[in-house]
Amino acid sequence: MSTQPQPEERPEHQPEAMFTPEPQAASAPSTKAEIEVAVARFWEIVRKSADVIVTLRQENTMVNAQNQALRRSEQELQNRVDDLLLRITSLEDQVAAIPSAETTINESETMNAEAELEEMRRNIDRAEDELKSARETMELQTDELKRRTELIQQRDAEITQMQAALAETEHQLQEAHLHLADNAVNKEQLADVKNELSAREKQLNELHDSFGDVHRHSLEREALEARLSELELAASTYDESKARIAELEEEIQDLRQQLERAMTIVNTYRAAGLRHIEDPDLKDQMTLFTAPVAQSPVEGEAVRQLMTEEELTALAARLDNVADRVAQLLGIS
């Protein structure tokens, strides 16, 4: 009897090799791109797993068909063995029923019957061997079918776990989107805070510039005088270029004017600031440099020559704000 065709051997897909994740950091992906790459890899693994499961189920169908064919062959062999056993029993009964007087006459028939009996026994042995081989093959294929069924169940369980992992990953992706949105809002708020701090720092610098001590102004004056000396030295050194000397002389003259103007403005700032602090009635006065009641009109006219009305108004408003802050800091009502 011909044996059933065996299923084609192929390398098994190891679940550990397919579903074991690569070593990664314990923390979730910190960026959107990393999460999207992880989701894409997950779906690629799911597709490969689905292909493997389909192949295993097709092989299971083939093994089931082979098992059914082996069962039919086993039944046929068993029927043949039963028939041969019945014939052997019948021949043995016939041989036993032959009278002793007719032994010589029927010796040829007896030998033929014994030969046929021996042939039947050999056939029974061959049938039993085939039956044993078929049973062993069926047991092996049954074990293989059981193993493949367990593997399919394991793959199904892994796919279920991966689907749960996918849901968790999608949840993390949503949280990452929300986190990115929160980061954008936080960046805007941080920019606003930085702008506010910059504005306050600018105001503080203006306050320091307005109410710097005399030592700082002296240092500035010394720096300007040193610069003036350097320019005068440079003018005397580079006498070969009259144009350059003229430019340096203009720069020196301009620096002197700036120095005189700066000292005049500083003295005016100080006088106006002290006047506002000492005289509470001038707290809300908008034009700091207008002459008080006892002030000489010549001094007021000199101030107006130094600065325009718009500059005086802006400077007065600025000093009013500064005076209010200083009054608050010093507790002056």
Question: Residue 22's pLDDT is what?
Answer: 42
Asked if residue 157 is part of any domain, the answer here is yes
Asked if residue 18 is part of any domain, the answer here is no
Helix (H) or strand (E) holding 37: helix 32-97
Number of domains in the chain: 2
Residue 163 and residue 127 share a domain? yes
Asked if residue 76 is part of any domain, the answer here is yes
Question: Residue 217's pLDDT is what?
Answer: 63
Sign of CA dihedral 108, 112, 113, 117: positive
Question: Residue 5's pLDDT is what?
Answer: 41
Q: How deeply is 81 buried, as exposed, middle or buried, from its count of CB atoms within 10 A (0-12, 13-18, 19+)?
A: middle
Is pTM beyond 0.75? Reply is no
Residue 274 and residue 126 share a domain? no
Asked if residue 7 is part of any domain, the answer here is no
Query: Collapsing DSSP states into helix, strand and coil, what is residue 176?
Result: helix
- The answer to whether the CB of 286 falls within 8 A of the CB of 259 is no
Asked if residue 23 is part of any domain, the answer here is no
- For residue 150, the number of C-alpha atoms closer than 13 Å in the C-beta half-sphere is 5
Residue 236 and residue 175 share a domain? no
Domain closes at, from 194, 222, 240: 194
Residue 242 and residue 187 share a domain? no
Asked if residue 3 is part of any domain, the answer here is no
> If you search the block for the tokens 């005068």, which residue do you land on?
232
Residue 320 and residue 186 share a domain? no
CATH number of the domain that residue 80 is part of: 1.10.287
Asked if residue 270 is part of any domain, the answer here is yes
Residue 189 and residue 41 share a domain? yes
d(C-alpha 229, C-alpha 217), whole Å:
18
- The answer to whether the CB of 266 falls within 8 A of the CB of 217 is yes
Q: Which domain holds residue 38?
A: 31-194
Residue 310 and residue 231 share a domain? yes
Sign of CA dihedral 194, 196, 198, 200: negative
Question: Residue 326's pLDDT is what?
Answer: 58
pLDDT along the chain (333 residues), means of 10: 43 41 43 73 77 77 77 76 75 63 58 74 77 78 79 79 78 77 78 80 70 62 74 60 63 68 68 56 48 50 63 71 62 52
Domain closes at, from 165, 194, 223: 194
Domain closes at, from 154, 169, 194: 194
Going from the C-alpha of 260 to that of each of 199, 257, 264, the distances in angstroms are 30, 5, 6
